[in-house]
Amino acid sequence: MLRVAVVGGGLGGLAAANALAARGIEVSVYEQAPALGEVGAGVQLAPNGARQLRRWGLWDAVVRAGAHLGAGSRYHRQDGTPVAPVVTADSSGWGALFGMHRADLVDILAANLPDGTVRTGHRCTGIEQDDDGARLTFAGGPTAEADVVVAADGIHSTLQHHVVPPSEPVFSGSIAYRGLVPHAQVPDWPTDRFLLWMGEGKHVLVFPVRGGEMVNYVGFVPTGEQQRESWSAQGDPDALRAAFAGWDPAVERLLAQVTSCFWWGLYDREPLPRWTAGRLTLLGDAAHPMLPHLGQGVNQAIEDAATLAVLLDGTDPATAPAALRAYERLRRERTSAVQAGARANGLRYDSGYDDLAVRDAELAATAELRRWIYDHDALVPAQAAAAELRH
């Protein structure tokens, strides 16, 4: 049986493990932290990602833990003037867009794996590989053998430089304040939609999580200094409120309830020239970190996972490297397009327009881009590519 080692126990790594395990492939996940977990924040699960989780038997868990985002989702100018609806369904009308607490999604993915799949306290320090297999080393001395290694260890991937020369992340010029407010503190806040307000140089995004029990907010503001990429740096609620003072009263009422928040610098990376070297391949943010302005980071990692599992299914240690090359060929073009789309959307949200009607029309036109993203079923091209590999 093929043995796959996944380095990184975040959402991308756990998605990869689920996709592989669902096809009977032996998989182990190595996570450097002493326990799985995510600092509290929201993430959007879109139809293209939800489609795969449904196949892995996780649909009911997603519906229980998430908040469905549907009709009423809308872009606004900073004063509250409606701009355009936000597309929340694919072209068939399947509205599988959910606000999820990241920790809940981690729990759902981890709970679906066989006991012993995830091994915490394993910080990967290197890899060696040859025609017979790959060998991972970890801090403190442990090692692991595998036929395939999947680097799902994030934008600062330890293993990425074994595939391509070091590539520095690109700072967007913005930081994001993020956090959660109990719905009980803003009882009139809608629990069924995604709402976004835009002003020059900044915007604020709000959507519910946990079935509407919590309201997730993210305030994007410009900064003149490059900031470290961190999910857990403490933010200043007063600075957050000051950034959006005078905006739509609904925004001010929500931010008035913030008692603590986190902030992080927003980074992506230019598309990498390749993802795979021999038995090692990249997945998720290790391959294609993207700005959050299309809500696709997690969903593209899920697509990666589904594609990789289809292509590795039925391979052996000798043929697995060819499957990894096919995975890269299938995924690089699409993820590069989504990366570029996320950058462009952020500029629409934040750039000064002499005529806001031009910006508003551009946002309305992004409905086509969202449908292209949401309509994609990663299984279809992966199955076609797998059939070619077998012949």
pLDDT, residue 352, reads: 74
| Band of pLDDT at residue 217, cut at 50, 70 and 90 | very high
Residue 354 has pLDDT above 90, yes or no: no
pLDDT, residue 114, reads: 95
**Distance (Å, whole) CA 208 – CA 42:** 8
Greater model confidence, 226 or 275: 275
Picking from 38-42, 91-95, 229-233, 283-287, which range would have the lowest pLDDT averaged per residue?
229-233
Domain presence at residue 59: yes
Taking the model in full, what pTM does it have? 0.95
18 close to 6: Cβ distance less than 8 angstroms: no
Domain presence at residue 342: yes
Domain presence at residue 135: yes
Q: 18: burial class by Cβ within 10 Å (0-12, 13-18, 19+)?
A: buried
DSSP letter string over 128-184? EEETTEEEEEETTS-EEEESEEEE---TT-SSGGGTSS--PPEEEEEEEEEEEEEGG
Give the residue carrying structure tokens 């100018």.
77
What's the total number of domains in the chain? Answer: 1
**Distance (Å, whole) CA 315 – CA 4:** 12
CATH number at residue 158: 3.50.50.60
* Residues in Cβ contact with 180 at an 8 Å cutoff, skipping those fewer than 6 apart: 40, 41, 42, 101, 209, 214, 215, 216, 217
Q: What is the mean pLDDT of residues 178-203?
A: 96
Residue range of the domain that includes 345: 3-168+269-390
Domain presence at residue 223: no
Task: Name the nearest CA neighbour of 223 among 176, 277, 279.
Answer: 176
Q: Which amino acid is at 79?
A: D
**Distance (Å, whole) CA 254 – CA 241:** 10
pLDDT, residue 347, reads: 87
Give the residue carrying structure tokens 């292509």.
311
* Residues in Cβ contact with 316 at an 8 Å cutoff, skipping those fewer than 6 apart: 2, 147
Domain presence at residue 115: yes
pLDDT in tens, 243-297: 999 999 999 999 999 999 988 888 888 999 999 999 999 999 999 999 999 999 9
**Distance (Å, whole) CA 368 – CA 87:** 9
Q: Which amino acid is at 234?
A: Q
pLDDT, residue 196, reads: 97
| Band of pLDDT at residue 228, cut at 50, 70 and 90 | low
pLDDT, residue 356, reads: 86
Domain presence at residue 69: yes
Q: What is the mean pLDDT of residues 297-319?
A: 97
258 close to 237: Cβ distance less than 8 angstroms: yes
pLDDT in tens, 25-66: 999 999 998 888 766 689 999 999 999 999 999 999 999 999
pLDDT in tens, 356-390: 888 888 888 899 999 999 999 999 999 999 999 98
* Residues in Cβ contact with 243 at an 8 Å cutoff, skipping those fewer than 6 apart: 177, 202, 219, 221
Q: Dihedral of the CA atoms 98, 101, 105, 106 (nearest 10)?
A: 160
Residue 305 has pLDDT above 90, yes or no: yes
pLDDT in tens, 1-31: 899 999 999 999 999 999 999 999 999 999 9
385 close to 330: Cβ distance less than 8 angstroms: yes
Q: Is the dihedral of CA 166, 171, 175, 179 positive or negative?
A: negative
Give the residue carrying structure tokens 């913005």.
174
| Band of pLDDT at residue 226, cut at 50, 70 and 90 | low
Q: Are strands 261-268 and 233-235 parallel, antiparallel or unpaired?
A: antiparallel
Residue 224 has pLDDT above 70, yes or no: no
**Distance (Å, whole) CA 56 – CA 19:** 7
**Distance (Å, whole) CA 93 – CA 71:** 11
Picking from 72-81, 216-225, 246-255, which range would have the lowest pLDDT averaged per residue?
216-225
Q: What is the mean pLDDT of residues 145-158?
A: 95
Domain presence at residue 200: no
132 close to 142: Cβ distance less than 8 angstroms: no
pLDDT, residue 40, reads: 62
pLDDT, residue 350, reads: 85
Mean pLDDT of the chain: 93
How many C-beta neighbours within 10 Å does residue 126 have? 12
pLDDT, residue 355, reads: 86
Domain presence at residue 87: yes
pLDDT, residue 263, reads: 86
88 close to 95: Cβ distance less than 8 angstroms: yes
